[in-house]
Amino acid sequence: MTFRLTTLLWLFALAGSAMAAFDAWGLAAAGVVCLFWRCLPVFLRWRSRRRIVFAALAVLLLFVLLLPAVQVSRCTTRCYSCINNAKLIALALHLHDQEHGALPPATTRDANGTPLHSWRAAILPFLEYGNLHDAIDFSQPWDGPSNTAPTSPWVDLFECPGCWRTNPGAGCCPFAVTGPQTIWRTGEPRSIADVPDGAHATILLIEVAPIRHWAEPRDLTFNEAVTLLTSPIQTSKNGGHFQDDGYFYHARRFRHVVMADGSCHQMSTPLSRELAIALLTADGGEAVDLDELRERASPRLDYGRVGGLVLFVLVALLPARYAHWTPTQVRSASGGWVEHITSLRASARAPPGSTARRPRQPRSG
């Protein structure tokens, strides 16, 4: 292929389209294409332009399939662990509701109104931590001297292993949303069956970070929860998940939200204030479109990268139009090796006992 001004323009177009399609891997992709077209006359002696195009497509397809950035899992094992933990906690709350007729109080307090214990400690027997529950002195604060030893073991179910965290001790934890209009209303606890808006459309727990200890009686107020759901997720501050669903998809940020019916959803924020309030209130009478929430959290195709890949393939195949190598050009580019390989193949196909001359081996040195 003669180096001309059009060749230089093609190189610039190839590099630009490769960077648009593969980002930092674009230069490597452009190099593979250039190496392919440069070495094609050495190992290929086809005159058919169709075969050349097919060979180029095969090389490009192999490169795309082997690109490390394409091989990305759609949901990591840690993400599934978080979902399973959230469902087990929701099941424990349902069992508590069935046995006691209501959810546990979000926070137990003494006569002076001092917070003592969290709802997490109340559901320990339903999470197969009955011995830990029996060892806690519920008449004393959770971090009091008598409760230091019982609450020292870490309950793994209350921490999401796949949540973004700045240090190992600051993981995500399920938070209740307290307030008179929520399912965790202050005063008399509410039963899950006593949710006029429907358990499927009412938030029970929200995954938030960080928390100092699982036994700490700390949750979200209604206004804090509304602010959290109507703001973009900042994984380094308030937790959440960052997930790359594949090379041709937009990266997602979401947090797990457990509904009162026990289902767990990946919720992408920010939400509208009206939708956030409708999800948090238990008796507001608002209608909630759960299909919209699922659509917001589903992977979204990155049309920019898809278009960049299509442009890259078209630009990479442009030299096939000018691939008119004659036998003389092939021999000149290959240094005689094509003729030598052809003669070796003819000798191998000769029948036994024939007088076909074996080709002379090229001298070394």
Contact 192, 94 (CB under 8 A): yes
Alpha-carbon distances of 70 from 28, 52, 56, 61, rounded to whole Å: 15, 26, 20, 12
Helix axes 26-43, 49-66, angle to 10 degrees: 140
Q: Is the pLDDT of residue 105 over 80?
A: yes
Distance CA 19, CA 28 (A): 9
Residues ≥6 apart with Cβ < 8 Å to 86: 160, 174, 205, 207, 256, 258, 264
The answer to whether 204 touches 90, Cβ cutoff 8 Å, is: yes
User: What pLDDT is recorded for position 122?
Assistant: 95
* From 76-80, 139-143, 275-279, the region with the lowest mean pLDDT: 76-80
User: pLDDT-derived band of residue 42, with 50, 70 and 90 as boundaries?
Assistant: low
pTM given for the model: 0.70
- Between residues 259 and 345, which one has the greater pLDDT? 259
- Check pLDDT > 50 for residue 166: no
Q: Is the pLDDT of residue 134 over 90?
A: yes
Cβ-proximal residues to 22 (8 Å cutoff; 6+ apart), any chain: 28, 29, 67, 69, 308, 312
Q: Which of 136, 155, 158, 156 is nearest to 145 (CA)?
A: 136
Q: Note the pLDDT of residue 334.
A: 46
How far apart CA 312 and CA 248 sit, in angstroms, is: 14
Residues 12-38, mean pLDDT to the nearest whole number: 83
pLDDT at 168: 45
Type of residue numbered 252:
R
Residue of 71 and 351 predicted with greater confidence: 351
Alpha carbon 260 to chain centroid, angstroms: 26
Top pLDDT among 345 and 207 is at: 207
Asked whether the predicted pLDDT for residue 246 surpasses 80, the reply is: no
Cβ(7)–Cβ(14) below 8 Å:
no
Residue 328 has pLDDT above 70, yes or no: no
Higher-confidence residue: 200 or 79? 200
Both structure tokens of 214: 């699982």
Region 281-307: what's the mean pLDDT? 83
Mean per-residue pLDDT for 104-117?
92
pLDDT for position 254:
86
Work out the mean pLDDT of the chain and round it to a whole number. 79
* From 91-105, 172-186, 213-227, 343-357, the region with the lowest mean pLDDT: 343-357
d(CA 65, CA 85): 35
